[in-house]
């Protein structure tokens, strides 16, 4: 005779939201930081309903806000308040941040990184490796604006860097092909890194409906013990 | 660069528009904050060079589009070889520029040559603004004549421009505009001949030959040679245009001759000078003033005066007037010149200016030597005949004939050398019984070198010996001596015993008197003569007997002359020695034989100027002061060359060679008038030696041939006649290849190119954006 049962466990969810200056890109709801915050809020809401402990870290080159995971009914409000109170600024130092997070989270948990990953360079590999070595389940929401993916610009344009003082005067049409080539190489590289480290990777465009993004993500995680829809 | 509508060229200011647009775009670019700068910069770094190149090409293409558009609208008509290569045809324009002397005819205002130059200038201007490639060849007739004279058939050597592509600036053409008519005669046939060769050798789609000339009758009197060349040109499908550059000619007189009469030209002996003036006009002219100048060069003239027409002392001779010259007629004026100092002097005569100024004066030199010895050898030991001759040649007192008789016995000839004989200007052999072969050889050489020999063949000579000599040395004697012939006694109203041949210069003064001149002369007998048939000797009878037997004959031998009198001077044969006509005859004979060695007194302008001076007396550096219409005169520094024997310094300036190699100023070299050689003696002092250049005779004849007659003469060659003034309006546009069409095609190509560049330069909005 076979007995079948389902074990309920408490999940510790860490939401890591990139608040560097590059996340400022985009207007209104399609602003990358806004979009990342929305993802974080939704996930926090879902986890909170399941009585899972949910924490939040917003960071650029430093940790700006750090809320330890709790199951309290007020945790969601604190998370929302923390997201709302943080403005995108500065550059990103992903590895330093992740090392700090890893050290401050002794128990294994689920770490959700919501970032555009721009300007992180090789530190992405090191950061994800570090988290994975600590036994964390890592999920990456790679948040990019439509214009960053399609580069639809025409006419003489002066592009000025959001995270530094670099700029370029150019005819964007002339550079589009090279740009897309470099971007795709970056995306492909990121996907490969995540796959190699068994990190769930989800590339999201800021014009995608949030529910569709989350539904797709959650259905993919359906076999997971928690975070089910 | 020339345009049909120059005012529209202001549109070229629009060339700045593409650049301005580019700059404005740079200034007006949108600002955008961007996160993914790494990818953007990576793309930029990778494509930076191509982006710049494409932008530059695009800018150039847009500029070119505007330039072509404006050029097309403004009617670009200038020269552009690269453009013509694309579609224009090559046109070869060959201009025969008649610059013979008659082109200096000023009838109707300016000279015919000036009209021809204007026509050439307008042709050049028109060609430079016409469509297609235009090559221009210009051949002056004078240069063609000189080049052919030098033995060359190379049209390139004669051409001022040889198939030269015409542009807006052409210095050779500009230089041609500064030339004048040459002093040459004719030259059209030679020029056309050379042009035919050039046309054949030059590849062109279309050839037009322009003959810019004055249609003088004499140029078309013997058109055979020119006709052959013209037909050859016409066969090569070239179009022939005859451009009439002259007006109806006015009255023209020309000094056609100036030279001292053949005589002994010795200092201190008056010299007769003969000047001839021809009336080339259609009406009688009267009272023509003839101004003569004597320019004396001597030891006192030591400084070259380039600021004056002559360095010598100029003496104006008494004015002369020619009362009347019929149309086509020629008047001769003789005047006497006396110069006491030996040396080469110069003479210049002029008549009042008319439509052709160049032939209104003429120059010659007057080479006066010191008195010279003449050798008299008498076969009669008593010396009777020698006395007659010597007393005529040296009458004594103040009278000078220039000759210093040197009476020698026959034995003198036995040991004489050629050098000794060369010192004598004339040799008289008076009835020598025989001539030894060695002596005959020396005499033959003496005459051949330019000496004068008078042989009196009296009865005492050994006729057989002389005849053997005639056979052994043909040319020294006029022929074979026949036995002595008695002159029959006169019957009734018979003519005198001796009759002069009127045309011979020795007896011309006597012939002018009429038959009565020899009325008192009696001839009993004289040798007969079978004159040599050798044409080169040109044996002429000077005086004949009443029975038509020759009495005095003259013939040429090499450069010299021989006068043979077929009688003795003793009373038994004739009483001529006692008659005044003998004195005249002997003096004239002496002058005739003397002048054999007279130097030339002038040369034609086209002939070489030569100098030959003693090597031991002068330095090699020589200056030549060229003749000129007006001072200052050109001074040319030269170096004389030592001859093979190192006895003489020689120099030759050939206009023909100068025309080919351009080594000298041809215009200066061919100027008519008095040139002065300036020599430097070894002691450093200077000496001048004048030489005269004269115009060929005939160019003063300005009569014109009607076009219809020329047309007939040139049949079957088809020529088109133009006036010089019409040249500016003659149409050349048929030679173009539709430059406007080419520009339009280029414009289209440029526009397509610009679009392609813009597309690849990513200046076109993407299809998605357009949609």
Please give the residue that has the higher pLDDT: either A228 or B566.
B566
Question: Are the beta carbons of A118 and B35 separated by less than 8 Å?
Answer: yes
Cα dihedral value B80, B86, B87, B90, nearest 10: 60
Flag the least confident range among A145-149, A203-207, B568-572. Answer: B568-572
**Exposure of B678 in the CB half-sphere (CA atoms within 13 A):** 21
The whole-number average pLDDT for the span B142-161 is: 85
The whole-number average pLDDT for the span A141-159 is: 91
pLDDT digits (tens, 9 = 90+) for B480-528: 999 988 888 777 666 788 888 878 889 888 887 777 788 888 888 899 9
**Exposure of A60 in the CB half-sphere (CA atoms within 13 A):** 16
Distance (Å) from the alpha carbon of A217 to chain B's nearest alpha carbon = 26
Residues of B in contact with A183 (CB under 8 A): 36, 39
Please report the pLDDT score of residue B417 as a whole number: 92
Count Cβ neighbours within 10 Å for each residue of B675-712 and write b for 16 or more, e otherwise: bbbbbeeeeeeebbbbbbbbbbbbbbbbebbeeeebee
pLDDT digits (tens, 9 = 90+) for B260-297: 998 889 998 899 999 999 999 889 999 999 999 999 99
What percentage of chain B carries pLDDT values higher than 90? 34
Please give the residue that has the higher pLDDT: either B367 or B400.
B367
Look up residue A157 and give its two tokens: 């344009």
Distance (Å) from the alpha carbon of A196 to chain B's nearest alpha carbon = 24
Alpha-carbon distance of B719 to B242, in angstroms, equals 6
Across B446-518, the runs of DSSP E, i.e. the strands, are 452-456, 479-486, 498-500
Residues of A in contact with B40 (CB under 8 A): 159, 168, 170, 175, 179
Residues of A in contact with B28 (CB under 8 A): 156
Question: Are the beta carbons of B32 and A163 separated by less than 8 Å?
Answer: no
Question: Are the beta carbons of B40 and A175 separated by less than 8 Å?
Answer: yes
Alpha-carbon distance of B490 to B486, in angstroms, equals 12
Cα dihedral value B118, B123, B126, B131, nearest 10: -170
Residue among A24, A159, A186 whose CB faces B32 most closely: A159
Cβ neighbors of B352 (< 8 A, separation 6 or more) are B288, B289, B360
Please report the pLDDT score of residue B82 as a whole number: 60
pLDDT digits (tens, 9 = 90+) for B460-477: 899 999 999 888 888 889
Whether residue B169 has pLDDT greater than 50: yes
Count Cβ neighbours within 10 Å for each residue of B509-534 and write b for 16 or more, e otherwise: ebbeeeeebbeebbbebbbbbebbee
Question: Are the beta carbons of A168 and B765 separated by less than 8 Å?
Answer: no
DSSP B176-235: HHT----S----HHHHHHHHHHHHHHS--SEEEEEEEE--BGGGGSS-HHHHHHHHHHHH
Instruction: Please give the residue of chain B at the shortest CA–CA distance from A90.
Output: B35
Residues of B in contact with A25 (CB under 8 A): 33-35
Residue B761 pLDDT grade (very low, low, confident, very high; cuts 50, 70, 90): low
Question: Are the beta carbons of B35 and A173 separated by less than 8 Å?
Answer: no
The whole-number average pLDDT for the span B120-144 is: 83
Whether residue A224 has pLDDT greater than 60: no
Instruction: Confirm or reject contact between A148 and chain B (CB < 8 A).
Output: yes
**Which range has the top average pLDDT, B441-450, B577-586, B753-762?**
B441-450
Pairing of strands B641-642, B603-604: unpaired
- Of the candidates B413, B402, B407, the one whose C-alpha atom is nearest the C-alpha of residue B437 is B413
Please report the pLDDT score of residue B734 as a whole number: 44
Instruction: Please give the residue of chain B at the shortest CA–CA distance from A154.
Output: B765
Instruction: Please give the residue of chain A at the shortest CA–CA distance from B26.
Output: A156
The whole-number average pLDDT for the span B76-87 is: 59
Residues of A in contact with B47 (CB under 8 A): 174-175, 178
Residue of A170, A172, A177, A188 to mutate when probing chain B, most B C-beta within 10 A: A170
- Report helix, strand or coil for B405: strand
Alpha-carbon distance of A172 to A179, in angstroms, equals 9
Whether residue B107 has pLDDT greater than 60: yes
Look up residue A105 and give its two tokens: 């989270």
Question: Are the beta carbons of A169 and B38 separated by less than 8 Å?
Answer: no
Look up residue B455 and give its two tokens: 């042989």
Residue among A160, A164, A179 whose CB faces B43 most closely: A179
Whether residue A8 has pLDDT greater than 70: no
Instruction: Confirm or reject contact between A178 and chain B (CB < 8 A).
Output: yes
Instruction: Please give the residue of chain B at the shortest CA–CA distance from A175.
Output: B43
What percentage of chain A carries pLDDT values higher than 70? 93
Residue A35 pLDDT grade (very low, low, confident, very high; cuts 50, 70, 90): very high
Residue among A32, A160, A178 whose CB faces B46 most closely: A178
Q: B444: exposed, middle or buried (C-beta count within 10 Å: 0-12, 13-18, 19+)?
A: buried
Residues of A in contact with B46 (CB under 8 A): 178
Do B732 and B239 touch, CB atoms closer than 8 A? no
Whether residue A5 has pLDDT greater than 80: no
pLDDT digits (tens, 9 = 90+) for B288-342: 999 999 999 988 888 999 999 999 999 999 989 999 999 999 999 999 999 999 9
Question: Are the beta carbons of A171 and B28 separated by less than 8 Å?
Answer: no
Instruction: Confirm or reject contact between A161 and chain B (CB < 8 A).
Output: yes
Mean pLDDT of chain A: 87
Flag the least confident range among A59-68, B8-17, B76-85, B145-154. Answer: B76-85
Distance (Å) from the alpha carbon of A161 to chain B's nearest alpha carbon = 5
Question: Are the beta carbons of A168 and B46 separated by less than 8 Å?
Answer: no
Residue among A116, A166, A173 whose CB faces B41 most closely: A166
Instruction: Confirm or reject contact between A173 and chain B (CB < 8 A).
Output: yes
- Of the candidates B661, B674, B652, B634, the one whose C-alpha atom is nearest the C-alpha of residue B143 is B661
Instruction: Confirm or reject contact between A48 and chain B (CB < 8 A).
Output: no
Residue B194 phi, psi (nearest 5): -65, -40
pLDDT digits (tens, 9 = 90+) for B609-629: 999 988 888 999 999 999 998
Q: Predicted ipTM?
A: 0.90
Flag the least confident range among A88-102, B49-63, B74-88, B352-366. Answer: B74-88
- Of the candidates A16, A73, A13, the one whose C-alpha atom is nearest the C-alpha of residue A47 is A13
Do A56 and A15 touch, CB atoms closer than 8 A? yes
- Report helix, strand or coil for B9: helix
Whether residue A228 has pLDDT greater than 50: no
Instruction: Confirm or reject contact between A27 and chain B (CB < 8 A).
Output: no
Do A174 and A189 touch, CB atoms closer than 8 A? no
Look up residue B504 and give its two tokens: 């011979």
Residue among A145, A173, A183 whose CB faces B39 most closely: A183
- Of the candidates B457, B418, B413, the one whose C-alpha atom is nearest the C-alpha of residue B567 is B457
Instruction: Please give the residue of chain A at the shortest CA–CA distance from B31.
Output: A158
pLDDT digits (tens, 9 = 90+) for B345-374: 999 999 999 999 999 999 999 999 988 999
Residue B278 phi, psi (nearest 5): -110, 140
DSSP label at residue B506: T
Mean pLDDT of chain B: 86
Pairing of strands A137-144, B498-500: unpaired
Instruction: Give the residue numbers in B contacting A (CB under 8 Å), as ranges.
Output: 25-26, 28-44, 46-47, 51, 54, 761-766, 768-769
Alpha-carbon distance of B557 to B445, in angstroms, equals 9
Please report the pLDDT score of residue B383 as a whole number: 81
Residue B733 pLDDT grade (very low, low, confident, very high; cuts 50, 70, 90): very low
Flag the least confident range among B414-423, B565-574, B590-599, B699-708. Answer: B565-574
Alpha-carbon distance of A49 to B507, in angstroms, equals 161
Question: Are the beta carbons of A158 and B29 separated by less than 8 Å?
Answer: yes
Instruction: Confirm or reject contact between A149 and chain B (CB < 8 A).
Output: no
Please report the pLDDT score of residue B766 as a whole number: 57
Residue of A182, A189, A190 to mutate when probing chain B, most B C-beta within 10 A: A182
Please report the pLDDT score of residue B737 as a whole number: 46
pLDDT digits (tens, 9 = 90+) for B180-217: 888 888 888 899 888 888 888 887 778 888 999 998 88
Instruction: Confirm or reject contact between A89 and chain B (CB < 8 A).
Output: no
Look up residue B379 and give its two tokens: 């076969």
Instruction: Please give the residue of chain A at the shortest CA–CA distance from B23.
Output: A156
The whole-number average pLDDT for the span B11-22 is: 87
Whether residue B739 has pLDDT greater than 80: no
Question: Are the beta carbons of B44 and A170 separated by less than 8 Å?
Answer: yes
Distance (Å) from the alpha carbon of B26 to chain A's nearest alpha carbon = 7
Whether residue B75 has pLDDT greater than 80: no
Distance (Å) from the alpha carbon of A78 to chain B's nearest alpha carbon = 29
Please report the pLDDT score of residue B692 as a whole number: 95
Question: Are the beta carbons of A169 and B769 separated by less than 8 Å?
Answer: no
């Amino acid at each position: 005779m076979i007995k079948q049962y389902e074990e309920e466990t408490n999940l510790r969810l860490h939401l890591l939201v990139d608040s560097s200056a590059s996340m400022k890109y985009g207007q209104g709801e399609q602003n990358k930081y806004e979009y990342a915050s929305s993802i974080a809020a939704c996930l926090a809401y879902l986890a909170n309903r399941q009585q899972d402990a949910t924490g939040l870290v917003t960071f650029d080159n430093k940790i700006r806000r750090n809320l330890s995971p709790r199951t309290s009914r007020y945790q969601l409000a604190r998370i929302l308040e923390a997201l709302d109170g943080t403005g995108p600024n500065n550059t990103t130092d992903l590895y330093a941040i992740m090392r700090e997070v890893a050290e401050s989270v002794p128990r294994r948990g689920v770490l959700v990184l919501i970032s555009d990953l721009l300007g992180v360079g090789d530190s992405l590999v090191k950061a994800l490796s570090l988290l994975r070595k600590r036994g964390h389940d890592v999920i990456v929401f790679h948040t990019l604006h439509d214009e960053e993916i399609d580069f639809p610009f025409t006419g003489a344009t002066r592009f000025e860097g959001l995270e530094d003082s670099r700029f370029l005067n150019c005819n964007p049409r002339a550079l589009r092909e090279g740009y897309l080539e470099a971007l795709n190489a970056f995306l492909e590289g990121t996907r490969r890194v995540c796959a190699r480290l068994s990190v769930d990777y989800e590339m999201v465009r800021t014009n995608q409906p949030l529910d569709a993004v989350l539904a797709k993500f959650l259905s993919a995680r359906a076999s997971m013990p928690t975070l089910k829809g | 660069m020339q345009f049909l509508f120059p005012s529209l060229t202001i549109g070229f200011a629009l060339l700045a528009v593409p650049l301005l647009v580019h700059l404005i775009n740079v200034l007006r670019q949108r600002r955008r904050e961007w996160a993914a700068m790494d990818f953007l910069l990576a793309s930029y770094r990778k494509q930076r060079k191509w982006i710049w190149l494409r932008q530059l090409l695009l800018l150039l293409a847009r500029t070119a589009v505007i330039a072509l558009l404006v050029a097309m609208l403004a009617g670009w008509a200038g020269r552009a070889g690269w453009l013509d290569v694309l579609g224009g045809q090559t046109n070869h324009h060959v201009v025969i520029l008649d610059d013979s002397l008659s082109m200096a005819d000023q009838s109707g205002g300016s000279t015919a040559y000036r009209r021809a130059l204007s026509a050439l200038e307008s042709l050049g201007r028109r060609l430079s603004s016409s469509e297609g490639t235009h090559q221009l060849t210009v051949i002056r007739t004078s240069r063609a004549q000189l080049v052919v004279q030098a033995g060359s058939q190379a049209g390139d050597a004669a051409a001022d421009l040889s198939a030269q592509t015409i542009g807006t600036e052409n210095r050779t053409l500009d230089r041609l505009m500064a030339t004048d008519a040459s002093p040459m005669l004719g030259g059209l046939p030679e020029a056309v001949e050379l042009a035919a060769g050039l046309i054949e050798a030059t590849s062109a789609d279309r050839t037009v030959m322009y003959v810019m000339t004055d249609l003088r009758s004499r140029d078309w009197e013997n058109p055979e040679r020119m006709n052959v060349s013209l037909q050859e040109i016409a066969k090569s499908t070239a179009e022939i245009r005859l451009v009439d550059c002259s007006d109806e000619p006015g009255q023209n007189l020309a000094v056609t001759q100036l030279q001292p009469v053949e005589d002994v030209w010795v200092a201190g002996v008056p010299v007769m000078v003969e000047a001839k003036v021809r009336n080339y006009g259609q009406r009688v002219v009267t009272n023509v003033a003839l101004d003569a100048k004597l320019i004396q060069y001597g030891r006192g003239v030591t400084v070259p005066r380039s600021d004056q027409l002559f360095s010598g002392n100029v003496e104006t001779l008494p004015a002369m007037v020619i009362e009347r010259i019929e149309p086509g007629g020629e008047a001769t004026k003789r005047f006497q010149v006396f110069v006491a100092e030996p040396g080469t002097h110069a003479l210049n005569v002029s008549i009042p200016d008319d439509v052709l100024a160049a032939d209104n004066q003429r120059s010659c030199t007057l080479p006066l030597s010191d008195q010279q010895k003449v050798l008299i050898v008498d076969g009669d030991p008593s010396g009777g005949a020698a006395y007659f001759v010597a007393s005529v040649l040296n009458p004594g007192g103040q009278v000078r004939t220039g000759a210093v008789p040197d009476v020698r016995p026959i034995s003198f000839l036995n040991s004489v050398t050629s050098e000794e004989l060369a010192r004598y200007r004339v040799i008289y052999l008076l009835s020598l019984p025989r001539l030894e072969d060695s002596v005959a050889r020396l005499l033959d050489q003496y005459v051949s070198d330019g000496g004068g020999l008078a042989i009196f063949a009296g009865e005492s000579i050994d006729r057989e010996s002389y005849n053997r000599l005639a056979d052994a040395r043909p040319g020294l004697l006029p022929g074979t001596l026949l036995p002595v012939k008695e002159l029959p006694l006169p019957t009734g109203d018979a003519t005198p015993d001796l009759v002069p041949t009127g045309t011979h210069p020795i007896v011309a003064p006597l012939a002018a008197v009429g038959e009565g001149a020899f009325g008192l002369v009696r001839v009993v007998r004289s040798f007969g003569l079978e004159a040599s048939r050798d044409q080169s000797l040109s044996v002429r009878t000077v005086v004949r007997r009443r029975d038509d037997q020759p009495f005095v004959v003259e013939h040429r031998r090499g450069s010299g002359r021989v006068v043979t009198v077929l009688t003795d001077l003793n009373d038994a044969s004739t009483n001529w020695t006692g008659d005044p006509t003998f004195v005249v005859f002997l003096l004239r004979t002496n002058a005739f034989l003397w002048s054999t060695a007279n130097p030339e007194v002038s040369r034609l302008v086209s002939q070489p100027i030569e100098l030959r001076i003693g090597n031991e007396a002068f330095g090699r550096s020589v200056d030549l002061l060229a003749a000129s219409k007006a001072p200052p005169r050109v001074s040319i520094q030269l170096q004389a060359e030592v001859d093979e024997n190192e006895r003489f310094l020689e120099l030759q300036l050939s206009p023909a060679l100068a025309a080919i190699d351009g080594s000298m100023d041809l215009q200066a070299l061919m100027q008519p008038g008095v040139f002065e050689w300036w020599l430097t003696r070894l002691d450093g002092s200077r000496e001048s030696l004048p030489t005269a250049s004269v115009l060929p005779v005939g160019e003063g004849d300005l009569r014109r041939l009607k076009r219809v007659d020329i047309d007939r003469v040139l049949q079957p060659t088809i020529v088109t006649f133009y006036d010089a003034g019409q040249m500016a309006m003659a149409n050349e546009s048929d030679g173009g290849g539709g430059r406007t069409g080419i520009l339009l095609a280029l414009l289209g190509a440029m526009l397509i190119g610009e679009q392609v560049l813009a597309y690849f330069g990513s200046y076109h909005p993407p299809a998605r954006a357009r949609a």
